Amino acid sequence: MRIMRITAVIVFLLSTQVYAKSFGQVEKINLKMNSNIKEVFEQLEKVSGYRFVLKYDQRILDKQVDVNYTNEKIDRVLDDLLKDTGFTYKVIDRYIAIVPVGELNDFTQQQKSVSGKVTDSSGGPLPGVSIIVKGTVTGTISDTDGKYSLSNVPENATLQFSFIGMRSQEVAVNGKNQINVVLSEESIGIQEVIAVGYGTQTKRDVTGAISHVKTTELEDLPVAQVAQKLQGQIAGVQINQTTGIPGQGMTIRVRGAASVNAGNSPLIVVDGFPISGSINDINPDEIESISVLKDASSASLYGSRAANGVVLVTTKSGEKGKTKVQFSSYKGIQVVPQAGRPDMMNAQEFAQFQKEYREDMAAFKGTPVDIPAEYQNPSEWVGKGTDWYDILLQNAKIESYSLSVSANTDKLKTSAILGYFNQEGVIINSKFDRMSIRLNTEYQINDKIKIGVNLAPSLSNTVTNGTDGALWGGGIIQNAMLTSPLAPYKNADGTLPVIANTSGLFPNPNWYRVAQERTNNEKSLHVLSNAYIDVEFIKNLHFKSSINAELGNKKTNYFIPSTSGYIFDPPPRRTEASVTTDSYFSWLSENTLTYANTFAEKHNFDFLAGYTAQKQTNPYEYMYGTGFPDDMVKTLNAATVYQLDENYNELTLLSYVGRINYNYNKKYYLSASIRRDGSSRFGVNNRWGNFPSVSAGWIVSDEPFFPKTTWLNYFKLRGSYGITGNYNIGNYMYYAAVTNTNYVFDNNLSSGRSTTSLGNSELGWETTKGIDFGFDFGLLKDRISITYDYYGKTTTGMLYSVLVPQSSGFNNIWTNIGEFKFWGHEIGIISKNLTGKLKWTTNFNISIPKNKVIHLGTQDAPIGGQYDNPNITQVGSAIGMLHGFVFDGIYKNQAEFDAAPHHATSAVGTVRYKDVSGPDGKPDGVIDNFDTTIIGDPNPDFLFGITNTLSYGDFDFSMIISGSYGNDIMTRTFEYAQNLDAVFNVTKDVANRWRSPENPGDGLHPTTNTGTPLARYDNSRWVSDASYLTIKNITLGYTLPFRNTSYFERIRIYGSIQQALVLTKYEGANPEVSINGSSVLESGLDFTAYPVPRTFTFGLNINF
């Protein structure tokens, strides 16, 4: 209780409406005492959370009272207490002011009245905003329409507008009678509440490195996947779209990803439940906000799986106080940009190439070579032929609808979100659609008990074609690109040929037909549900128990008609079909006790203890059939020959968690946590792991010695240390498995069984020790906020399937090996550049991730880097470096040939590689295995994102940029697309190859005559800088003027361009490409992927 001079601090709110509202949130009072009023007030402070404030007159405090209230409202209590005392009370914020009756009138003798309206940045009215005449106790609050009116305001006064969650504003009256104010959300404010492990904290209280994104601010992005929305938003989090296949291909890597092998995707936790499925199963519109726990201390409460960071997803729940209905929708069209399309020869160029190939071969061999008729006269092909890449493309539509209803009454908080998303692919016969529902409900049974149920089913459908990847993997795009442009995909009569081939090439199917007719449909059902009960035994001591269940069922139907085929394997071929069912069932039981309290006014602490048990099962079935009579029936019942497979996996995890947060006066912070995890994935001897962490924070700017300048208003230092773990390997890896190895005796199968893997009962947790040091600045009254973090991580005992000498009889063993260091800097800046009528906010982040391999395995043997292996991870350099020969031009003539080292197949006109080393570690004049080396680095030097949002009146505009600098890509597609055996279509520049010493070409492409395999090995000519700056999204929105009608609260329309512009020197389709997805060991490889389209959309948001 404070007794102070009231004028400077307290505002008397004159509106009775405010009075009622202010007490609306107060719990019922139970109070029984016989004492003086002072003690009664103190007791009331404890139970109600209100503070009493008295105006200099303390007479009242000594009055003895005898009170006995059960479940009584506080206003009734106060009315009773103050009856006949000559005092009355007023409420403002969390304060109850006790003032003598009649003094209120002292404040009502001014001269001017001012009125106006308060709105939020979107133009919606803001009720409940307090408006105070600066330096006085005069004030009011805005009504339901956001309108207010104040009388008796001095001419030279200044009005202060404030509202929780919004940035306060001061406006000078300057004689005006009408003052309208737009308050903007205080999203960067240190009071913002963000999700942390097992709870929430205000930003101010956070001592770890946590990035927070309100996805509601990104709702205009026309994308299927949440991760696409986060691109460029978070310092230290690299999000790449490795392929444009609808609904797929996003990789998330937090701080360079700690684990090399055992999965490097972060743990996704949805409303407290670590999910097994993909984050992409979730409709992005269901998400309220996302927190990324980057450092060990903030993540270690999820110890077991936190080494790769944790992404906490908070879904939308009912907003306080009102029922909201929201509808949003967009429709658009996706187009493949011209830039980045493969530059293959057209029909004329290809005929010329084929002709020259034969002429050169005839000269080389000294024997005549026939030139097939179709190649004899290339000029006849001008303007004719097939662009195989182009015919696979289409302009595709995209649409999304989302309806959400939320309500929050005294007892019931509920929200329902219904979504439908449909995206056609820009490659024919591919698409993705998803229907999703989320129902979040929380019910307050009584003062003590709260229960909640969340249910979120989603149903999605993916149609793909096997578009991506290497020749032999069957990726349609690359196969089509390599097919003769002379072969038609469609006959003159409109029918589709079955085979696409011209003389001397391997026969291929008509890829257009393959793409159209191949079936690869995946139907997926994903259900996420949880139920919880929260009991408050005594004030601030909560017991929460929750049961979470997740179900995922994915069924894939595959059908290849006889008219389809593979590379070199044209139709007619056998018809094949398969059905794959891949499911998982997971449950998690979580029980926590939390307690929070404040002692001696300044010692705040909270405490958490709990344990969780989780079990997951994965049944898998595969059915394959062939021997179909024809292509009429596409289901397995029409097959006559079958193959079956079944698999079943089980995983259990048991964990104990504990945490204490303490702060002194919200200035000095200390936090410690521990998690102990046991997993069925590890050998009996090393099953349990302990994951402790500590962190501390200091709000320096609250110190008395800190200079009170206007430019620097907030300064916080943070530091943390902690250990996290990783167990992302398959199940049963520590077992020495005995599997079927059948043989034949007497012309019959004889069942055989052999130990086919090396067991390891010592297999245990991979651990990452991490430190983080950071500071947060608030400049110019939080107009600019800056966050900086330095982090260092050391991963040891990496879970890796180490190659072992095969003379042991085995290929590898799952073990804990190596040591890796990761470190880096992250800076995030949010700046409110303009806050007037034209508002402009810039959100900039940059991260500089580094990593280095310190140890590997027992012999430090590199991972990868075998002969002709495009990636190598070796001690002393960064992870997954690109690896191969160093291209050194062409042996243009005999003199150059004689002067340089050779490979066994080298000849004049063939490719020349550098003699890097030899068996003794020195160049030996021979080109062989020993001359492969590091030729590129797929790890970026830095990553950045810039988001600008502007609004002016009813218009809003935003632009999101994300970029990467210094990462290399190896275009492995060139192994085929620049093949010199004249069996594929090739890139246009192959025309400039070496043909003779007199006609040596551009010095980049060797002869077609001999030694052609040498040019196919991974080499530095395929490596290029893939730095990029991508304008991910541009949106222009307009809020229609007829807001607040009886039907609508607000209607906004907008247009947006996704993937608007990619600025890069990289010539491939997508500088974010990675054929191996999220793999760090095998990153930076382009083996032809589904193009990422540019998407133009038009959208609509309606609030009812």
Q: Dihedrals φ, ψ of 477, to 5°?
A: -65, -50
Between 15 and 545, CB nearer to another protein: 545
Between 136 and 917, CB nearer to another protein: 917
E-strand stretches of 409-540 = 412-424, 431-444, 449-463, 499-500, 508-509, 519-538
Helix (H) or strand (E) holding 778: strand 766-779
Please write down the HEC assignment for all residues of 22-56: HHCCCCCEEEEEEEEHHHHHHHHHHHHCCEEEEEC
Member of 152, 545, 686, 917 binding another protein (CB under 8 A): 545
Pairing mode, if any, of strands 2-4 and 51-55? parallel
User: Residue 534 CB, nearest distance to another protein (Å)?
Assistant: 12
Member of 34, 858, 894, 1044 binding another protein (CB under 8 A): 858
Member of 26, 333, 593, 712 binding another protein (CB under 8 A): 593
445 binds another protein (CB under 8 A): no
User: Residue 677 CB, nearest distance to another protein (Å)?
Assistant: 10
Distant-in-sequence, close-in-space partners of 374: CB < 8 Å, separation ≥ 6: 351, 486, 502, 503
Residues between 1037 and 1066 that touch another protein (CB under 8 A):
none
859 binds another protein (CB under 8 A): yes
Between 36 and 893, CB nearer to another protein: 893
Q: How far apart are CA 1046 and CA 543, in angstroms?
A: 44
Member of 866, 894, 999, 1044 binding another protein (CB under 8 A): 866
Residues between 1065 and 1104 that touch another protein (CB under 8 A):
none
4 binds another protein (CB under 8 A): no
Residues between 934 and 993 that touch another protein (CB under 8 A):
981-983
User: Residue 739 CB, nearest distance to another protein (Å)?
Assistant: 5
Between 8 and 744, CB nearer to another protein: 744
Q: How far apart are CA 1075 and CA 8, in angstroms?
A: 65
Residues between 339 and 398 that touch another protein (CB under 8 A):
361, 365-366
Between 141 and 567, CB nearer to another protein: 567
Pairing mode, if any, of strands 753-755 and 210-214? unpaired
Residues between 605 and 664 that touch another protein (CB under 8 A):
611, 613, 615, 641, 643, 646-648, 650-654
Q: How far apart are CA 42 and CA 38, in angstroms?
A: 6
Member of 543, 585, 773, 788 binding another protein (CB under 8 A): 543
Which amino acid is located at 965 in the chain? Y
Between 492 and 744, CB nearer to another protein: 744
Residues between 164 and 193 that touch another protein (CB under 8 A):
none
596 binds another protein (CB under 8 A): no
537 binds another protein (CB under 8 A): yes
Number of chain residues interacting with another protein (CB under 8 A) = 93
User: Residue 629 CB, nearest distance to another protein (Å)?
Assistant: 16
Between 161 and 727, CB nearer to another protein: 727
Whether the CB-CB separation of 541 and 595 falls below 8 Å is answered with yes
Q: Which two tokens stand for residue 76?
A: 């009734």
User: Residue 367 CB, nearest distance to another protein (Å)?
Assistant: 8
Report the side by side order of strands in the sheet with 1023-1025.
1023-1025, 968-971, 1085-1086
Buried residues in 522-550 as b, exposed as e (16+ CB within 10 A): bebebbbbbebebebeeeeebebebebbb
Task: Count how many residues are written for the chain.
Answer: 1104
Whether the CB-CB separation of 868 and 932 falls below 8 Å is answered with yes
Q: How far apart are CA 744 and CA 536, in angstroms?
A: 69
3-state secondary structure of 129: coil
E-strand stretches of 600-711 = 603-626, 641-664, 668-679, 688-699
Residues between 711 and 740 that touch another protein (CB under 8 A):
731-732, 735-739
Between 428 and 916, CB nearer to another protein: 916
Buried residues in 454-482 as b, exposed as e (16+ CB within 10 A): bbbbbbbebbbbbbbbbbeebbbbbbbbb
Between 201 and 479, CB nearer to another protein: 479
DSSP state of 904: T
Q: How far apart are CA 555 and CA 621, in angstroms?
A: 9
**Segment interacting with another protein, rule: CB under 8 A, options 143-151, 482-490, 536-544, 845-853:** 536-544
Residues between 906 and 925 that touch another protein (CB under 8 A):
907, 919
Residues between 994 and 1023 that touch another protein (CB under 8 A):
1010, 1012-1013, 1016
For 39, 55, 60, 99, the CA distances from 75, given in Å and listed in that order, are 18, 19, 18, 15
Between 907 and 916, CB nearer to another protein: 907
680 binds another protein (CB under 8 A): yes
Between 152 and 652, CB nearer to another protein: 652
User: Residue 794 CB, nearest distance to another protein (Å)?
Assistant: 22
User: Residue 762 CB, nearest distance to another protein (Å)?
Assistant: 9
Q: How far apart are CA 655 and CA 348, in angstroms?
A: 67
E-strand stretches of 294-411 = 310-315, 324-335, 396-408
Q: Which two tokens stand for residue 710?
A: 């206007």
**Segment interacting with another protein, rule: CB under 8 A, options 219-227, 417-425, 866-874, 1069-1077:** 866-874
Residues between 486 and 525 that touch another protein (CB under 8 A):
504-507
3-state secondary structure of 104: helix
Residues between 42 and 71 that touch another protein (CB under 8 A):
none
Pairing mode, if any, of strands 139-141 and 199-202? unpaired
Residues between 682 and 701 that touch another protein (CB under 8 A):
687
Residues between 764 and 823 that touch another protein (CB under 8 A):
802-810, 813, 815
User: Residue 622 CB, nearest distance to another protein (Å)?
Assistant: 12
Report the side by side order of strands in the sheet with 863-864.
863-864, 871-873, 881-884, 933-936
User: Residue 119 CB, nearest distance to another protein (Å)?
Assistant: 47
User: Residue 382 CB, nearest distance to another protein (Å)?
Assistant: 26
The pattern of x and - marking residues 283 through 322 that bind another protein according to CB under 8 A reads: ----------------------------------------
Between 637 and 751, CB nearer to another protein: 751
Residues between 890 and 909 that touch another protein (CB under 8 A):
904-905, 907
Residues between 735 and 764 that touch another protein (CB under 8 A):
735-739, 741-755, 758-760
3-state secondary structure of 351: helix
Whether the CB-CB separation of 144 and 113 falls below 8 Å is answered with no
Whether the CA torsion 198, 201, 205, 211 is positive or negative: it is positive
Between 312 and 802, CB nearer to another protein: 802
User: Residue 538 CB, nearest distance to another protein (Å)?
Assistant: 4
End-to-end CA distance of the chain: 44
541 binds another protein (CB under 8 A): yes
Between 710 and 747, CB nearer to another protein: 747
85 binds another protein (CB under 8 A): no
The pattern of x and - marking residues 556 through 575 that bind another protein according to CB under 8 A reads: ------------xxx-----
37-48 and 74-82 helices, crossing angle to 10°:
170
446 binds another protein (CB under 8 A): no
User: Residue 1010 CB, nearest distance to another protein (Å)?
Assistant: 7
List the one residue out of 1093, 1097, 1094, 1095 whose CA is nearest residue 1054.
Answer: 1097
Which amino acid is located at 654 in the chain? L
User: Residue 653 CB, nearest distance to another protein (Å)?
Assistant: 8
Helix (H) or strand (E) holding 873: strand 871-873
User: Residue 860 CB, nearest distance to another protein (Å)?
Assistant: 10
